[in-house]
Amino acid sequence: MPDYWVKITEKEEDKIQRHHYLVTARNIIEAKKIAQEFIQHFCDEDDDPEMVADGYAFCNKAIIVHIADIKETTKEAFKDFLLKMHTIEWK
């Protein structure tokens, strides 16, 4: 089964955080469904999130989490991205 890189955006007031996840699924439709189910449980403080386009709103729309992008990738490419993102190169 192919791997998909899921980019999720979390907005709370003027603060934006971007999250990156790897999903293994039969196709992009299944990957999106898995990501949506994951997002539904993203915020522990809200047991009844409101569905919004490609995601969910939590705490009376104070926090909005949605899928920003999904694309097919490989585990190696995803690991390379994470390694670059979390590596300090002090010169």
**Total-model pTM:** 0.88
In this structure, is residue 38 part of a structural domain? Answer: yes
In this structure, is residue 37 part of a structural domain? Answer: yes
In this structure, is residue 90 part of a structural domain? Answer: no
- The rounded distance, in Å, linking the Cα atoms of 91 and 76 is 26
Number of structural domains found in the chain: 1
Residue type for position 11? K
Q: What is the pLDDT of residues 6-24, one digit of tens each?
A: 999 999 999 999 999 999 9
In the DSSP assignment, the letter for residue 13 is: T
- The domain of 76 spans 3-85
Residue 31 has pLDDT above 90, yes or no: yes
Residue type for position 4? Y
- C-alpha atoms less than 13 angstroms from C-alpha of 50 in its C-beta half-sphere: 9
Residue 89 has pLDDT above 90, yes or no: no
- The rounded distance, in Å, linking the Cα atoms of 68 and 14 is 17
